[in-house]
Amino acid sequence: MIQLPWPDIDTVLLDMDGTLLDLHFDNHFWLEHLPQRYAELHGISRQQAEDELLPLFHAHAGQLNWYCTDFWSRELNLSVRDLKREVAHLIALRPDADTFLAALRAAGKRVVLITNAHRDSLSLKLERIELAPYFDRLISSHDYGFPKEDQQFWHALQADFGFDPARSLFIDDSLPILRSARDFGIAQLLAVHQPDSQKPPKDSEEFAAVEDYRQLLP
């Protein structure tokens, strides 16, 4: 059981992919579906597609472009938006995430979705999973021009939303992002034990990690 000081938490900041939603959709799309469709659309082998795509992915990892569907559509000469719709049936809520969100609302917490996902990806997911009613705000890092890995994101978020880092909880499946939030001064930080239901659990290193959202219920 993870013990959180709920009386000292006013604001809960939540990531989307891998935190509230199963990361299987995103991993399958980028590592399986996109390379296959890229190969088909460009008339090359699957291996050639991976040889072209993987260095590009690594080059942009952790930057705003990595999360931008417009960037990848231009870069790869295909519609990432349309290709994501082909596998949208894989978009799924993590177990009991909605129960946790409902409990936060009932407890009167301010709840904010902060995602590096482009607005296109966010819209697609909100079509499939009804998340919006649980949140005070739905924020994409593209709104500010900086990914969550960058301190400038956190300064922009605070200027926009006016939260107190010392009285906030942030949950994310990315360790670099959690470290960025820690550097900004967010007091309560949690990682996610198994972001992708189809892959083994992740080592959350110095962070406590959520296995079951019922553990956290205030």
Domain parsing of the chain, residue ranges: 6-22+92-216, 25-89
Which CATH number describes the domain made up of 6-22+92-216? 3.40.50.1000
Q: Is the dihedral angle over the CA atoms 56, 60, 62, 66 positive or is it negative?
A: negative
Query: Is residue 190 within a helix (H) or strand (E), and if so which, with residue range?
Result: strand 188-192
pLDDT tens, position by position, 27-75: 999 999 999 999 999 999 999 999 999 999 999 888 888 888 999 999 9
The string of pLDDT tens digits covering residues 9-25 is: 999 999 999 999 999 99
Amino acid 144 reads Y
Q: Check if 8 is active-site.
A: yes
Residue 59 to residue 111: CA distance in whole angstroms: 33
133-191, pLDDT tens digit by residue? Answer: 999 999 999 999 999 999 999 999 999 999 999 999 999 999 999 999 999 999 999 99
* Residue in 8, 82, 160, 203 annotated catalytic: 8
* Residue entry with tokens 């590009």: 56
* pTM higher than 0.85: yes
Strand partners of residue 198: none
